[in-house]
Structure 1
């Protein structure tokens, strides 16, 4: 059987091909799965999608009409999939429920330290042989307070690093994580966390209840000199409200690996095109802001685990099995 994989990065392609070798052929495309590209999948029983695919009802109907019966999404998040429509169409949908939490947690800390120590600005200066230190002063993390919104596997890994820095730890989640409390984390309500933390890092899924959980009100509660990091889902932050706070001169740093309107932008080369997203254009002009293109997961270990899980998901579908990765079983 030949599998059609959408949104495959150049570094990911050999890993996918090697993982499926001897079992199935895999055709890799760099375009994302959308309403416009769904017709390409006609005749493919199994399709694999990336995190930026738009699997709304129209796309799913187009896939089903073309003969697709299984969608293997190569990501943990699945807020981009209309699961109810998939059930009505009898589609099997799977995701990757687990991959290295350290990839994202370490990258979140990379963003935090990059904005704290002005690494991007310093690097740009030295490329021009400007070695002045003016404007590059950061702060020690030791003794400061890290606030972690979401203390699952990734939030726990982030907390362990914060503990290694010697930080005070505040957490917010539905249930305390014993591993985090064992590190000295104190669970508080969201308002207290936002108002007390020097560094706020988001590690939550994007759900209806968490959409814009960091809105204008939440941002107003944060310290003027706080650092905000989001390496989870762009929709957790009201970007328009964030831009307004930045325009008012607030926050020592903001590190974003995700953006709520990233679909159609991230993973693509837009360098020769006019910028149509005014919010993003304004956001990246602030000197204390670093925006990266959803690369926190992008380590050899994590991508390898994602690929291996995708291979297992396809095998489970063909064998009629369900697993923890199955979102929507056919029938």
Structure 2
């Protein structure tokens, strides 16, 4: 299948080019993201393959359809950047990678927690400068702390298991309860109670109209003073302006984010020689108790291998006209 890959990096080329499943696929890599202005690059291709910050909105999909593109293959789990209604109306199939490595993202959430708590990043920088003082690096025991988990899908479930292993009390909110987690000791509660009880809150739910800005001033006001908030899911779950206010007044004691609502203008780019134009991000990274990683949670060898395998399988199924196991359905 002839496919145009957008937003590609060196690691995309490395893993796709060496894949055993590559045979039969004609791939062209474009470093630019997909949007209405770059969609013309897909002329002559059967499909486009996109990532989290590509834009497949109504205008872009109309352009793709006019060029003869028949499919959009996401090499990620989320699909909030695709207008499914427009794709369906134009006969464009949408497929994704629903589960590449839940453990990768769950473990990264734990890494954010441990780094923020024990301040290992600050200790590292001190020692590099010959400063071996441990003043102001006090952390806290995770043991017996209450961990609030919002969303217990595959990633949330993996995260719950890890935190139970730390000896934490784990409370969770989800519209569907996981009986296996209940048997392991996870307690499901209403969202407000999870926010109120938790020492650490970790978000593992999808972004949709009902979850957009679920962490806002109203939600923050319900939390414990000094709470730690972790987001490795989707940036739009968090209202950044309200979060900054929570950090300023001390309601939020720690913030760890691997995702950001406006990340498409920042993440996956080297801006080290430039002035950051995003004032909200500039303010967030100015706080000593905020840790930002640029959408790194998925980035493990195992996850990249699985993303490659499933993406190529999706494209093969499309090309052969087989049933699409990972199709994203549209329901009006």
1: CA distance between counterparts of 2:228 and 2:184?
22
TM-score (norm 1): 0.96
Uncovered stretches (5+) of structure 2, i.e. residues with no partner: none
Query: Which range moves more in the overlay, 87-96 or 315-324?
Result: 315-324
Task: Verify: 1:189 aligned to 2:190, yes or no.
Answer: yes
Matched residue SS, 1:35: coil
Which runs of at least 4 in structure 1 moved beyond 2 Å after TM superposition? 18-22, 249-252, 321-324
Q: Give the total of aligned pairs.
A: 329
2: CA distance between counterparts of 1:178 and 1:91?
37
The answer to whether the 8 Å contact 2:213/2:237 transfers is: yes
CA offsets 1:80-111 (integer angstroms, 9 cap, x no match): 00011111111111111111110000000000
Task: Verify: 1:252 aligned to 2:257, yes or no.
Answer: no
Could you tell me which residue of structure 2 aligns to residue 77 of structure 1?
78
Could you tell me which residue of structure 2 aligns to residue 223 of structure 1?
224
CA offsets 1:175-225 (integer angstroms, 9 cap, x no match): 211121112111111111111111100000001101011111111111112
Matched residue SS, 2:246: helix
1: CA distance between counterparts of 2:49 and 2:80?
16
Could you tell me which residue of structure 2 aligns to residue 23 of structure 1?
24
Matched residue SS, 1:131: coil
Could you tell me which residue of structure 2 aligns to residue 321 of structure 1?
322
2: CA distance between counterparts of 1:221 and 1:126?
38
The answer to whether the 8 Å contact 2:99/2:154 transfers is: no
Matched residue SS, 1:147: strand
Matched residue SS, 1:11: helix
Equivalence map 1:242-321=2 (5 Å): 242-321=243-322
Q: Quote the offset at 1:250 in angstroms.
A: 3.0
Matched residue SS, 2:11: coil
The answer to whether the 8 Å contact 1:99/1:306 transfers is: yes
Task: Verify: 1:157 aligned to 2:158, yes or no.
Answer: yes
Q: Quote the offset at 1:2 in angstroms.
A: 3.1
Matched residue SS, 1:293: coil
Q: Could you say what the CA RMSD is over the residues aligned between the two structures, in angstroms?
A: 1.3
